[in-house]
């Protein structure tokens, strides 16, 4: 097997290919390869710079790393949709062709049987087969749905180059058998699948930096007042049912309205032990006493 080398990976797949008969499938294959060849030619990628693998209803292209990814992405965003509209305008209902596409980069090796090997290629294939991209094509009125890998987004898309508007891409998470994969979908994500948190984190921290933990963004104070003012003698613990138990050891805290005596149980499983003084007046009830008031 050859050493892995850096490649641009282009994958295109025909929607509902297996639903057609043999004659229709043969026609769709010709259209797929014609559209792919014209897009690559428009991007300046000639046959000496690429390898093709035939997968029946899909095509896989390994493209030399020296070919312009930006030019190829422009062709995918402009030329391919135009080609599809032209073909489908003259085709019967059974011969309509709609495509899913993935553009990625990574390291791929070619073995002695001309097989392609590489985890970056595997990830690209899983993006192509993922439900997010399938749903994007199914739910849209367009004939083409495109997803790019994080490496293509970081290197090309996010710089908002001419003909590749960054605002048109949205972060998505694609489920796969090896866990979630991050990617960027062109157009509106189906069913609210946009990962807004990761879009924010990516723009704020740049690629390659760990995201903000799910526990909090670090941008807002804790609810309920001033930051860092914990009860000096209180302690919070996990309850037996998964709720929170707050124990006040040195008297009843004042919250501003009335006095609550005894242990308090919340409907969601939380429990407060000790007397709680909610303002007003009150004195020794249970284990604590209110401040400055009459006896209850």
Instruction: Assess contact for 248 and 255: CB atoms under 8 A.
Output: no
Which 8-state DSSP code applies to residue 231? Answer: -
CA distances for 196 relative to 148, 152, 157, 204, angstroms: 17, 19, 17, 12
Q: Which numeric CATH code is attached to 5-205?
A: 3.30.70.1230
**Dist. CA 287–CA 271, nearest whole Å:** 16
pLDDT given at position 269: 52
pLDDT bracket for residue 144 (50, 70, 90): very high
Q: For 225-246, what is each residue's pLDDT tens digit?
A: 444 444 444 444 444 444 444 4
Instruction: Assess contact for 116 and 110: CB atoms under 8 A.
Output: yes
Helices marked H in the chain — which ranges?
22-42, 69-90, 119-129, 131-139, 150-155, 196-205
Per the prediction, the chain carries an average pLDDT of: 76
Does position 282 have pLDDT exceeding 50, yes or no?
A: no
**Dist. CA 14–CA 64, nearest whole Å:** 24
Q: For 107-118, what is each residue's pLDDT tens digit?
A: 999 988 888 999
pLDDT given at position 295: 41
Q: For 76-130, what is each residue's pLDDT tens digit?
A: 999 999 999 999 999 988 899 999 999 999 999 998 888 899 999 999 999 999 9
**Dist. CA 186–CA 280, nearest whole Å:** 59
All structural domains of the chain with their residue ranges:
5-205, 230-296
Instruction: Assess contact for 79 and 123: CB atoms under 8 A.
Output: no
């Amino acid at each position: 097997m050859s050493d892995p080398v850096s490649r641009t990976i282009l994958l295109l797949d025909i929607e509902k290919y297996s639903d057609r008969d043999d004659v229709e499938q043969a026609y769709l294959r010709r259209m797929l390869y014609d559209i792919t060849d014209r897009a690559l030619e428009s991007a300046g990628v000639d046959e000496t710079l690429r390898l093709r693998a035939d997968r029946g209803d899909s095509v896989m292209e390994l493209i030399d790393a020296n070919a312009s990814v930006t030019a190829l992405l422009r062709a995918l965003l402009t030329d391919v949709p135009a080609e599809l509209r032209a073909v489908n305008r003259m085709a019967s209902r059974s011969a309509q062709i709609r495509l899913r596409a993935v553009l990625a980069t990574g390291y791929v090796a070619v073995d002695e049987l001309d097989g392609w090997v590489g985890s970056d290629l595997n990830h690209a294939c899983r993006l192509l087969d993922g439900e997010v991209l399938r749903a994007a094509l199914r739910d849209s009125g367009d004939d083409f749905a495109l997803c790019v890998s994080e490496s293509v987004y970081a290197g090309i898309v996010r710089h908002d180059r001419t003909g590749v508007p960054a605002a048109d891409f949205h972060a998505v998470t694609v489920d796969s058998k090896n866990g979630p994969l991050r990617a960027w979908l062109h157009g509106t994500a189906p069913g609210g699948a946009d990962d807004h948190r990761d879009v924010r984190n990516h723009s704020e921290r740049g690629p390659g930096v760990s995201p903000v933990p799910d526990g909090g963004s670090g941008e807002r104070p804790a609810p309920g007042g001033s930051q860092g003012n914990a009860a000096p003698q209180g302690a919070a613990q996990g309850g037996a049912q998964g709720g929170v138990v707050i124990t006040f050891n040195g008297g009843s805290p004042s919250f501003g309205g009335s006095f609550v005596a005894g242990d308090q149980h919340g409907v969601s499983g939380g429990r407060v032990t000790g007397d709680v003084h909610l303002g007003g007046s009150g004195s020794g009830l249970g284990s604590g006493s209110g401040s400055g008031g009459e006896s209850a």
